Amino acid sequence: MSYGNLERTIVAFHFWPACENCIYNKECQSQPKHPAFPHRWHWGKESASFPDGELILRSWVGTTAIGQPHTGCTSYTVAPHYVHPLAARHVQYLQLQSEKAALAVTLSRLERKPTWSAQDEATYARVFTRYKEMMERQAILRSTNVGALPVAVNG
């Protein structure tokens, strides 16, 4: 399986990993890196939709033919001209995503505790409020009206 070099990139809405958009396509035309060349891969991803494309958060490329000779190309890497540069709003989104993940760990840890202290309740309230604020901010960043947004991401 490959990750495709797609994480933290913007791709067009119609993009799908395939041999023809791999950086090794020209090389594979004479000496393929996998027996199924040319092939269109199955793609699993976590992404956020923006007006200018999809921001790929996580990505994995393979095929459902487990155990078959064409199970996947471990070398698949998207060619640079199929991805778009990140804008400030994409970078902000990714920063918020990282902070949100850290807060989710705290919330999860607290939710597993059988009993809470007053400090736990205060921490949960503070962290959950910040988590919701980040989700709202991310929704704004994904919206079409991003030109009037301030650049700072402060909590």
Q: Please report, for the chain, the start and end positions of each structural domain, with discontinuous segments joined by +.
A: 9-84, 88-142
pLDDT of amino acid 122: 97
pLDDT of amino acid 76: 85
pLDDT of amino acid 75: 84
* CA 85/CA 118 separation, integer angstroms: 46
Q: What is the pTM of this model?
A: 0.80
User: At residue 85, does pLDDT exceed 50?
Assistant: yes
Is residue 8 within 8 A of residue 83, CB to CB? The reply is no
3-44 pLDDT, tens digit each: 888 999 999 999 999 889 999 999 999 998 877 788 777 888
Q: pLDDT band at 150, cuts 50/70/90?
A: very low
pLDDT of amino acid 63: 67
Question: What token pair was written down for 63?
Answer: 């095929």
Distances (CA, A) of 7 to 21, 111, 137, 142: 16, 30, 21, 17
Distances (CA, A) of 32 to 19, 28, 37, 44, 70: 10, 4, 6, 23, 12
- In eight-state DSSP terms, residue 114 is S
Question: How many residues are listed for the chain in this entry?
Answer: 155
Place of tokens 């301030």: 150
99-148 pLDDT, tens digit each: 999 999 999 999 999 999 999 999 999 999 999 999 999 999 999 655 54
Distances (CA, A) of 155 to 97, 100, 127, 133, 148: 13, 11, 11, 9, 19
Average pLDDT, integer, range 52-68 = 81
Q: pLDDT band at 149, cuts 50/70/90?
A: very low
pLDDT of amino acid 71: 59
